[in-house]
Structure formats: structure tokens, C-alpha cells
Amino acid sequence: MEKSETNLNFFCPNINPLKAYSWQVQCPPKIRHFIWQILTECVPVTENLWKRGIDCDRGCATSGTSEETINHTLFQCHPARQIWALSQIPTAMGIFSTESNFTNLDHLFWRIPTEFDSSAFPWIIWYIWKARNEKIFENKDTDPAEVLRLAEKEAQLWQSAQIELHNENPGSVDLVNQDRVRDISLEAEYSGYRCFVDGSWKESDKFSGTGWFCTSSNGEPPTMGAANLRRSLSPLHAKVEALLWAMKCMIGADNQEVAFFTDCSDLVKMVSSPTEWPAFSVYLEEFQSDKKEFSSFSLSLISRRANVKADNLARNVHSKFLRQSKIILSNLSTVIKVYLGSTTMAGTNDSCPLVKNILLLDSEGKRVAVKYYSDDWTTNAAKLAFEKYVFSKTSKTNARTEAEITLLENNIVVYKFAQDLHFFVTGGENENELVLSSVLQGFFDAVALLLRNNVEKMEALENLDLIFLCLDEMVDQGMVLETDANVIAGKVAMQSAEASGSLSEQTLTQALATAREHLARSLLT
């Protein structure tokens, strides 16, 4: 007789968010663990002991009720109710406290109005439990007001210690917000540099990947780095190594004012409370030593969505490199510095990066200049359809300050906007994103040089032959030849001058002068 699979739907409250947030509550680890035990109903009250087959009195020793449950002990018992009533946390019938410990903790986590100071509630729960144990094992009755005083005093001492630790490290390491982890705004103006870091780790792999992506407040092109290191002990170890390597890279580049960003909340907690992470003491000593090299330092928590570039770098180098290696792309040029081994990648396409197409579209998605190097689009109609699709998927993104990366139709597309022009470079889904980014930046900067920074549609149309010459200097049959904008612009200007094309002599002279000026400047710096 065949068994038929049945999908069962369970209709009940989901307490997983409560369990997850119990580890983010700002208090010592032992109290976090106790709150998690409350949510998993692992606290040894008499009701739970009875359920496990332990013969004991099921009643509450304090109030004499017939059953001692977790919720009764911490929220409903007479002493507990008095303690909550005396605290700064407001109580209201039917809201707090209730007959459910899940509802009560949900209220304490997220529902208390901001005008009330609720930061001591973990210690209140802890000291209510301690008072209960003193009654059970020592027959000692503790005054509720005294229990609350002890809890609030311990909370204040712990919070003061965190502030002192924070002040001992100038440059400020941002602590996780007391209520919830909130994304900080990345749209605001900033000074110095922003460095996004991440790590990639799999237990089955021999190596773990780390990546960082750095932007500058003065408009310099972004820099990035990716490292393939021997697999560390855990994903958190990989995240720490990513931060330490990024710090060393910033020090090597003499970037002294740096704000670091990560999507790992444990990494932020570790840096802000190092004494609670003894297993990482060696890493933290190295962190403190390197941190002294910065005039301004901060580490902030952001969402995973905001850290996608560093994540892609870590995953990319992790999946493509077969041996332990590190690469740094400075100003998105093709100069690659290799450390600790070979950069040989898996597969023939990785050893010779290929570009499928380069697109320059206007603000309506219409062609300005395009070049296809792949047979994926055999007809003009297919090419136009792809351009329309790419434009529709990217036109609403904010790719004006820096390049963005997306995956469309099994192709990696890197893109950047300027005025009414949209620049795109497409590669295969397994292509190296770093190379595609360098091609995009080289194309964009070369066009800006040739158009004397007047990067707009009308100027591009008037100098269309310069743009196509630029593409020919960069890529040949999909193979990347050059990505240095100064070199590209110089060659284009000289070729145009020799060919005596349709452009005016004044335009050629200006382009050549600009290219020479930037090339000389790059050689001197």
C-alpha cells in the first residue's frame, strides 16, 4: 500500500523571532541565555520538573498556587507583580503582564513606549528568578523593593562599563542599538573613507573568502580587495579575519579616517565587548593594535542588502580561486597585486576574462553606442530586447555615485549612470566581477576624458567615433585589452589625429591635451 505524502499546516504563533531576538538583548550572556530558556520553556519550575517525571510539589512556594509555571513565577506571582509595578516599565491589565510569557516578552522586547526606560528588564527577570531560588532552597523571603533595587543597580553598573569601554577606544565603535538593530543611513555625507567588509565560509571547503569594498568622500574611484585564505574555524572567524585584513589594507593605503561596515551583528558585539569573547582574544589583540593606526575609526552594523558588494567579492574569490591568494584592485585598474600564492582560477574562462557586450544607452533606454562580443544574441531584435530588459531592470536604481552589480538572464551586469547616459558591461554568470567592474570604470573614465567631463547624450553623439575607438582599444572579440582610462584616451586621441577623421581639429586637440595631462599626472603620483 503506497503512502501518500501529506503537507500539514500548523496554525499557531511563530516564536522564532522572539528566540532570535533573545540573543540581541543588551545584557550579559548568562541573562540572554536565561531569556532564551524562558522562550524554549527549559526553566526548571515545578511544573516542568513534574512533566519530566520528577516527583515534587507542583505548587508555588511563595504564593501557594496549585501550579508553578514559568509565566507565573516571573510575571504573575505576587512578589513578581509587585516588582513590575514598582519598576519604570508601565503595567496595564490585558497588556502587561498577561497569562503568556511569550506575550510578556514580546511586550518587553518591542512594545514599550520610548519615553519609558526599559533597559533594566533583563536584570529584573533575572533577580526575580534568583529571589524565587532563595525562597525554595534557603527559605529566605526578599522584599520586592530590594529585588528591584538590586536589579536596577546591576543594570546601571553593566551599562556604565560598556560606556567606559566605548570611551577607552577613541574613534567610537558603534554599539548595537538597545531596542533593535537598525540600518544606519548610507545616504548622508561623510568624510574620509567607507569600507564594507564580509567573509564567506563553508565547512566542506578548504578555503574561506574575505572581501572589502572601499569608497572615498572626495570622489576617488572605489578600491576593493578579495582574499582566499585557509578555512578558519567558523563563519564568525572568517568575518573577523575579513575585518582585520581590510584594516591592514586601509593602513597600507594610508587611509587614516575610515568607517567600517559589516552585516555581522556578532562582530560588532565582539569589538564593543571583547571581554565576553575570550575565544577570539588573539584576534582582538591584533584588532586593538591595528586600530591605533587610524585617526578616526568606527565599526557599524548594516543590513546584508547594503553589504552586497563585499559579500559578492568574498563569495567570488572563494568560489573561483583554487589556492590561497589575495588580490587588490587599486582604483579599479588592471594592476593586481598577488600575495601568498597563485591566482590561477578554476576553468578556462576565468584565466581569460571575457566580456559579452558593452552598452551605452540614453535615459530612455535607446542606443547611443553598443558592442556585442558574444553569440548569445544572434539577431538585432534579440539585442534590442536585451537592452530594453536591462534598462527596465536597472533604471530605477541609484547607480550614479558608484557602480552597481546585478544578475540578469544568467549574466552578470555591472552598470553606472551619468547625466542622461547609462553605461553597462555584461559578462557570463561565472565571470569575475572585479574584472567587469574595472572594464566599466575604464570605459566610463575614458569617455569622460574624451568628452572633457561633459558626459551627456548630445556630446556623446557628436563624438561617437571617439567612443567606438575607445571600445576597440578596450576589448577585442570579448577579451579585455586595457582598462586604464588615461592610456585608452591617449591612444584614441592619437589615432583620431592620425586618421584626420570627421571631428574638428579643435576637438582632437582638446582630447589629446586632456589625455596627455591625465597620463602625466598618473605617472607623477
C-alpha to C-alpha distance for 485 and 474, rounded to whole angstroms = 9
C-alpha to C-alpha distance for 511 and 28, rounded to whole angstroms = 64
Amino acid present at 280: F
CB 510: neighbour CB atoms within 10 A?
15
The secondary structure of 260-305, three-state, reads EEECCHHHHHHHHCHHHCHHHHHHHHHHHHHHCCCCEEEEEECCCH
Judge if the upstream peptide bond of residue 97 is cis by omega within 30 degrees of 0: yes
DSSP 69-89: -HHIIIIISHHHHHHHHHSSS
For the record, the C-alpha cell of 100 comes out as 503568556
**CATH 3.30.450.60 domain range(s) in the chain:** 349-524
Going by DSSP bridges, is the β-strand pair 193-200/257-262 parallel, antiparallel, or unpaired?
parallel
Residue 5: its pLDDT value, please? 44
C-alpha to C-alpha distance for 427 and 376, rounded to whole angstroms = 11
At 409, is the secondary structure helix, strand, or coil? coil
CB 46: neighbour CB atoms within 10 A?
19
Going by DSSP bridges, is the β-strand pair 367-372/357-362 parallel, antiparallel, or unpaired?
antiparallel
Distances, alpha carbon 490 to alpha carbons 8, 403, 438, 446, 493, in Å: 68, 24, 18, 9, 5
Residue 434: its pLDDT value, please? 78
**CATH 3.30.420.10 domain range(s) in the chain:** 193-339
At 337, is the secondary structure helix, strand, or coil? strand
Read off φ and ψ for residue 114, nearest 5 degrees: -65, -20
Read off φ and ψ for residue 282, nearest 5 degrees: -65, -45
Return the CATH fold of 349-524: Beta-Lactamase (3.30.450)
C-alpha to C-alpha distance for 390 and 180, rounded to whole angstroms = 37
C-alpha to C-alpha distance for 250 and 130, rounded to whole angstroms = 48
* pLDDT beneath 70: ranges in the chain: 1-13, 162-188, 317-352, 496-525
Amino acid present at 431: E
Cα 287–chain centre separation: 19
Residue 487: its pLDDT value, please? 83
Integer-rounded Cα Rg, in Å, for the chain is: 30
**What is the assigned CATH class of domain 193-339?**
alpha beta
C-alpha to C-alpha distance for 225 and 332, rounded to whole angstroms = 10
The closest alpha carbon to 111, from 134, 95, 128, belongs to 95
DSSP 135: H
CB 272: neighbour CB atoms within 10 A?
18
**Model confidence pTM above 0.75:** no
Bridge partners for 412 per DSSP = 407, 427
For the record, the C-alpha cell of 267 comes out as 562582530
